[in-house]
Structure 1
């Protein structure tokens, strides 16, 4: 990735839900822009591989970490440690967030599905 990426612009123009953009050029880090409509998100699961940083991009939602909900909106960060139970849910019409973690396999999210990657 050379230069800057307009995540707000990508999110606003994205079709569908789940992962709408993935940074593919870094060698050590993985970044994914994830988008959901109100009431949707990623069901509770445990990721035992990596710590994950969630960064709010637009709208609002919550990140559940071991049973505790953390509000997430543009400019807010939530760190989810490896091994924690986690989930996300949109509380606004359109909610998008960035996940950043040490590189591993590709992320594939779809609305309404629980999954190990988010």
Structure 2
């Protein structure tokens, strides 16, 4: 059995999203990665996360990431690091905005998802 990595087409998952929120995720012993997709005007509500720094990577469309009151536009292929302890939010500014959140492992963003343990020990989940 092989532990080779598998490439995931995040763009296709983002454009095929039938509902907002988490579309795909990967959890290892060290990292969490979650693809989230939002329609215009929706996103992640303003909150403070004291647990982890979060790297946000634009996958499809455009959005705005607001960190401690500073609004930063984010498009496909762009990234921003959001430090832990900062006040943050994400809002879609185009009809659809998909972004990948990557951070040190912690609890999942979606309640009710069932992880699928892979042969290499990693977990993938789908809503």
The residue correspondences of 1:1-118 to structure 2 (distance < 5 A) are 2-24=5-27, 26-108=28-110
TM-score (normalizing by structure 2): 0.81
Three-state SS of the structure 2 residue aligned to 1:11 is helix
> 1:30, CA displacement in angstroms?
0.4
Counterpart CA distance in 2 for 1:87 and 1:63 is 6
Deviates more, 1:48-57 or 1:4-13: 4-13
Question: What CA deviation, in whole Å up to 9, does each residue of 1:19-39 have, x standing for no partner?
Answer: 111113x22110000000011
Three-state SS of the structure 2 residue aligned to 1:86 is strand
> 1:49, CA displacement in angstroms?
0.1
> 1:103, CA displacement in angstroms?
0.5
Q: Which has the larger radius of gyration?
A: 2
In structure 1, the gaps of 5 or more residues are 110-118
TM-score (normalizing by structure 1): 0.87
Counterpart CA distance in 2 for 1:65 and 1:29 is 22
In structure 2, the gaps of 5 or more residues are 112-127
Three-state SS of the structure 1 residue aligned to 2:12 is helix
Counterpart CA distance in 2 for 1:66 and 1:104 is 22
**What is aligned with 1:115?**
none
Counterpart CA distance in 2 for 1:33 and 1:76 is 14
